[in-house]
Amino acid sequence: MLASVPGDIFAIVAAVAIGLIGLAGSYALFKAAMVLDSSRVLLDGVTKESVPLLSEVTTTVKNVNRELDRTDTILESAGNMAKSAERLTAVVEQTVSSPLIKIISFGAGAGSAFKRFFGGD
């Protein structure tokens, strides 16, 4: 027997609409679950790749820091050597320049005296 009352027809239409809405909701939920699953797979892949990479980066940074410490030591040693060379140059300059000036002065004076003594200009 077909429904002849408008209320029955409305109830059937409402039930079909609710069923379609439920079906559409189920489809959306299924698609969301698929997206979440592929996101999980992607994150697992990123984790598997990034953990070893981070380990390698940590090792590289430690090696670079060690080399920088060595470079600092080398630069400090070079600076100390430059300071020592500068002090040595100053000592040699003071040691040599004073007698050299005296010798040159004595030579100039002796030359002048020699010229005067022997009648030169």
Is the torsion defined by CA of 63, 65, 66, 70 positive or negative? positive
What pLDDT sits at residue 113?
A: 82
Residue 74: predicted pLDDT: 92
Query: In Å, how far from its chain's centre is CA 91?
Result: 44
For the chain, 121 residues long, give each residue's pLDDT as a single digit of tens: 455 687 888 888 999 999 999 999 999 999 999 999 999 999 998 888 888 888 899 999 999 999 999 999 999 999 999 999 999 888 887 777 777 777 888 888 888 888 888 875 5
Coil, strand, or helix at residue 82? helix
| Two tokens, residue 113 | 């005296």
Which H helix or E strand runs over 8?
helix 6-117
Distance CA 11, CA 8 (A): 5
